Amino acid sequence: MEGKAKLWRDRVILVAVVWAVWALITTFLVQPFRIPSASMENTLQIGDRIVVNKITPRFGEVKRGDVVVFKDPGDWTQPVPSGNAVFGAIRKVAEVTHLSASGSHLVKRVVGVGGDKVSCEGLGNKLKVNGVEVDEPYLKSGVQPCAEKFSITVPDNKVWVMGDNRSDSADSRFHDDGTGKLGSVPLSDITGKGLAVVWPIGNVSGGHNAEEAFAKVPAAK
């Protein structure tokens, strides 16, 4: 009897240690997220599981072209409540330990950083950053860079984000007032920079950041 008790105790300790290590890793190094919408197609598909690098937002630089996961900066998403108390409790525990991503996170691509002027003349025109047209090879095939004319300046310590599937993405454009102040995402809200798709097997891939697309864009004045 004592042997069985020790065995169970050892198992509980092992599970607790693994859980703690996983929580530490996902708090400071990497974190998994599930893609909930089509806003980043074809780069990311609905249901893809991606892993993000949490070190860059803390100690590195978020750059134009980066795919980032960020906390909802203000009513960009509406969480769906669970109708089952048990499942709801399990989901909360998973979110706290980062085994599951909360519904309050989004994924988009950074197209402008603090001080940048981001603009577009509407259908048939390319996106411009600081007056330079940007070729965007990551856009979903057949999708226009923008549907409506806009011109904004990104506030300091914020970024302007847009989905790769521009016609189906409620991004910075959708939430802005025409100045760049409301639609821009604070750097402090960025959870991590996209590293790779790790599931499903058929979609496993990496290298989704596209800093080279903005190589000719000058620094903001």
Which positions are catalytic?
39, 108
Q: Are 203 and 45 spatial neighbours (Cβ–Cβ below 8 Å)?
A: yes
Query: CA distances (Å), 164 to each of 58, 64, 139, 208, in order?
Result: 25, 13, 5, 11
Quote the Cα angle for 152-156-161, to 5°: 55
d(CA 221, CA 213): 20
